[in-house]
Amino acid sequence: MQRVVSVVAHLGFRLQALPPALCRPLSCAQTKIFGSDRVKLMESLVVGDIAELRPNQGTLSLFTNEAGGILDDLIVTNTSEGHLYVVSNAGCWEKDLALMQDKVRELQNQGRDVGLEVLDNALLALQGPTAAQVLQASVADDLKKLPFMTSAVMEVFGVSGCRVTRCGYTGEDGVEISVPAAGAVHLATALLKNPEVKLAGLAARDSLRLEAGLCLYGNDIDEHTTPVEGSLSWTLGKRRQAAMDFPGAKVIVPQLKGKVQRRRVGLMCEGAPMRAHSPILNMEGTKIGTVTSGCPSPSLKKNVAMGYVPCEYSRPGTMLLVEVRRKQQMAVVSKMPFVPTNYYTLK
């Protein structure tokens, strides 16, 4: 366990506590965008409405290219400290950083006030029904006043300068804690002393995010997938749609009102587990798509998956075939999330 916690501290991995309160390491990258033109910079790269974010409010957004493809998914928070806090995937870190740095230089050459700082922080994620209860004992702030996708800087288990954000990629309530690297081992160790908190592996993370219908970059979305195809149209800010001022807008915005060739859908079956790359067929046996993620659902005791099919096959309730281990089995297109989410919203 100590070896895992050390990886969490030194490589900036996330520690997730999942239902009832389990944890696993997951890589991420953290960046601070500052200057009076910080929103202009970010909105030149992503599809979301960053200008509308209230202080300490965050949003899931997407880096897109001029062809409308998704370069990465990320969370952008408008902090009350006067900068944007950006969390993106470590697997895309080199291209994400180059993308942001190039835009910083471009705007600076235009006389704009903007800058970028890479944060030397770990990110520890505590997820599950008891996550807030576990964390509340270690902080002075009232976590009941911290709803989903908002954050606050506070001291956690004696470590100062931690940014606690009410979010996570499991569909459950929980927080992600950005902690100075020097305090990461102490904080992770303190969390694990609570009997409610357990370390979890990749399978736990993957089954939870899949039950919640959440995409994994590189599997379910990539630079050849548009937000509309990926069923992520909700990430497109209405003002941004009208202005068509984000990369790929000329491709993406028309797709909102017209037809796209394919869409990401949920699939459910009771046969063998569907896995990534499994062919999806119509009832006549013709291949029409591919599974991108799949696993047994511990909550539903059924097998769930996501994949891409032509629009005419995307309606929930549509019966299809999936080829698993060279055998065809019945599957049904299902609404997502497969398991209702449990985000804390103050409502």
Cα–Cα dist 228/247, whole Å: 14
* CB-neighbour burial class of residue 117 (10 A; exposed 0-12, middle 13-18, buried 19+): exposed
Residue 198's pLDDT band, with cuts at 50, 70 and 90, is confident
* CB-neighbour burial class of residue 96 (10 A; exposed 0-12, middle 13-18, buried 19+): buried
Instruction: Tell me how far the alpha carbon of residue 28 is from its chain's centroid.
Output: 11
How far is residue 195 from each of residues 20, 78, 202, measured CA to CA in Å? 11, 34, 21
DSSP 8-class letter at 150: B
Paired strand residues for 34: 83, 115
Buried b / exposed e over 195-233, threshold 16 CB at 10 Å, is ebbbbbeeebbbbbbbbbbbbbbebbbebebbbbbbbbe
pLDDT digits (tens, 9 = 90+) for 131-174: 999 999 999 999 999 999 999 999 999 999 999 999 999 999 99
**Average of per-residue pLDDT values in the chain:** 91
Paired strand residues for 136: none
Residue 129, SS3 per DSSP: coil
Q: Which residues are within 8 A (CB) of 41 and not within 5 positions of it... i.e. 6 or more apart? A: 33, 35, 100, 103, 104, 107, 112, 114
Residues in the chain: 347
Q: Which residues are within 8 A (CB) of 286 and not within 5 positions of it... i.e. 6 or more apart? A: none
Topology annotation, domain 261-338: Elongation Factor Tu (Ef-tu); domain 3 (2.40.30)
**Segment holding 343, helix H or strand E:** none
Cα–Cα dist 238/253, whole Å: 10
Residue 3's pLDDT band, with cuts at 50, 70 and 90, is very low
Cα–Cα dist 205/301, whole Å: 17
The label of the residue with tokens 């009771």 reads 270
Per-residue confidence (pLDDT) for residue 330, from 0 to 100: 97
pLDDT digits (tens, 9 = 90+) for 288-330: 999 999 999 999 999 999 999 999 999 999 999 999 999 999 9
For residue 41, what are its two tokens? 């910079």
Q: With a cut of 70, say whether residue 26 has pLDDT above it.
A: no
Judge if 5-194 and 261-338 fold alike in CATH terms: no
Which residue, among 177, 196, 85, 41, has the nearest Cα to 131 in the 3D structure?
Answer: 196
The label of the residue with tokens 């931690």 reads 162
Does 229 count as an annotated binding residue? no
Residue 202's pLDDT band, with cuts at 50, 70 and 90, is confident
Is the link from the previous residue into 195 a cis peptide, with omega within 30 of 0?
no
Residue 58, SS3 per DSSP: strand
Topology annotation, domain 5-194: Alpha-Beta Plaits (3.30.70)
pLDDT digits (tens, 9 = 90+) for 219-270: 999 999 999 999 999 999 999 999 999 999 999 999 998 889 999 999 999 8
Could you state, in order of their start, the residue ranges of all structural domains in the chain?
Answer: 5-194, 261-338
Contact 31, 115 (CB under 8 A): no
Helices (H), 180-338: 184-192, 202-211, 238-243, 249-257
